[in-house]
Amino acid sequence: MNFREILGMALDSVWSHRFRSGLTILGIVIGITTVVTVASLLSGLRKGIVDFFQEFGPDNIFIAKVSGDPSGGGARAKEIRRKPLKQEYAEYLLRTVRSIEDVGISVFIITPNRLLTIKVPGYENDNVFMQGVTPNSYALSPRELAQGRVFTQEENNRAQRVCVIGSSLGQVLFPAGGGAGRTVTIDGAEYTVVGIFAAAKGGFFGENGLDRQIVIPFETARVRYPQSDNIFLTAKARPGLRADAIEEIRGSLRKLRRVPADKEDDFNISTADSIIENFDKITGMIVLVSIAISGLGLLVGGIGVMNIMLVSVTERTREIGVRKALGARRGDIVLQFLSEAVALTGVGGVLGIVFSVLVTLLVAALVPSLPASVPTWALITGFLVSVSIGVFFGVWPAVKASRLDPVEALRYE
């Protein structure tokens, strides 16, 4: 018999006992579905995060008081107690670090006793956050504008009440369009909207916080919110000198902040690459946990496959005897039963892949803010794993079948 005939017999055997086969491969279906679905969700999430940080520029170095979210949310108590960065650090770094071209300054606005709101007649929104930035920040990390412009150096020097708002805010505040040049009330004061950003790329769980951001001149922020001291610096390294710039910045800041040689940095330095690398470490742990959980399902499925194949060998002892009497070799018997085991787990793998794709599409439809994309490698890996389980757990029943004595097998009732 050729391989095509053997495969056809294997599929016929699976179909003739479809209920039993379905129960047998249930663990494999669950295991493959879990792994592929988790991989799909994490793949989509990673793409959004990579797109998000790529907008900040490959040569930029970010300097903050704390690690993680530079606004300070979720920071460790030890980091919160650190001395804040100061705007004077920007000028100092430009003087002492030759491998950087420019330094931008931003400050996160905090209003501890009230919600920060932005409103126009008939509408108010408190799902916003505000930053004060120096005008050169958008030369360091360019962003596309849907309308208007960014504020000028003169507007910053005069601490004028102008702002640039994110795409989502522009849509809800000015649904008819034409927001540039209009006035809004932010935290009780009137500001002129000089520009509206285009929709930002990427984001966390499908949402990019920059789309609900309000940006005002740095000097305006200093005048209106003197209590806000969470300074964030963005240094642009000269081409090809980013690694040197990081070390020089670290040395300069340690000297400026008088950090003892035996103590760790009391500030955080990061780049887009390092942030993505940290995210990959976290998702790597999630994938390992999902593999461990799904591995139990695959193990149960594999044991079930072995059990059902051993039962099949017993049920078909006479058939095996007839085939051997007609000239079938041991290898033919092994290949037949091994093909049945692989067909069984292969069907389980295909069903698991189909279910995982459906679950991924369902999650994407129900939770639009959670991006999801099914990577090709996950589909291929899922199918290969299911086939491998069939080979591994089907070997012993196949070998046992091939070792049956044809005379004894023919006498079997």
- Residue-wise pLDDT tens for the chain (413 aa)? 555 665 666 667 666 666 677 777 788 888 888 888 888 887 777 776 776 666 677 788 999 888 876 665 666 777 788 888 999 999 999 999 999 999 999 999 988 778 899 999 989 988 888 999 999 988 888 888 999 999 999 999 999 999 999 999 999 999 888 888 999 999 989 999 999 998 877 655 556 778 889 999 999 999 999 888 889 999 999 988 988 999 999 999 999 999 898 889 889 898 877 777 777 777 777 777 777 777 777 887 888 888 887 777 776 677 767 777 767 677 777 777 788 788 888 888 888 899 888 888 887 777 666 667 788 888 888 888 888 888 888 888 878 777 766 656 555 55
H or E stretch at 269: strand 268-270
Length of the chain equals 413
Q: How many Å apart are CA 165 and CA 119, to the nearest integer?
A: 12
Tell me the three state secondary structure of residue 106. Answer: strand
pLDDT at residue 93, rounded to an integer: 93
- Its pTM stands at 0.67
Whether the Cβ atoms of residue 202 and residue 51 lie closer than 8 Å to each other: yes
**How many whole angstroms separate alpha carbon 294 and alpha carbon 187?**
51
Query: How far, in whole angstroms, is CA 146 from its chain's centroid?
Result: 27
How far apart are the C-alpha atoms of 406 and 324, rounded to whole Å? Answer: 6
| Joined tokens for residue 311 | 């039962």
What are the boundaries of each domain within the chain? 3-51+277-411, 57-271
User: Token digits for 115?
Assistant: 């919600």
Task: Give the pairing type, strands 129-133 and 213-217.
Answer: parallel
- Label residue 108 left, alpha or beta by phi (over 0 means left) and psi (-120 to 50 means alpha): beta
Cα 266 to chain centroid distance, Å, stands at: 29
pLDDT at 120: 92
Residue type, 59: D
| Whole-number pLDDT of residue 134 | 94
The amino acid that residue 351 corresponds to is L
Counts for the chain of helices (H) and strands (E), in that order: 15, 12
Q: Which residues, 6 or more positions from 200, have their beta carbon under 8 angstroms from its beta carbon? A: 52, 55, 143, 166, 167, 208, 210, 211
The pLDDT of residue 115 is: 86
Between the alpha carbon of residue 93 and those of residues 86, 96, 100, 115, the distances in Å are: 12, 5, 8, 35
Tokens 């294997």, located at residue: 10
Token representation of residue 145 = 């504008």
Query: What pLDDT score was predicted for residue 316?
Result: 67
The answer to whether the beta carbons of residues 39 and 287 sit under 8 Å apart is yes
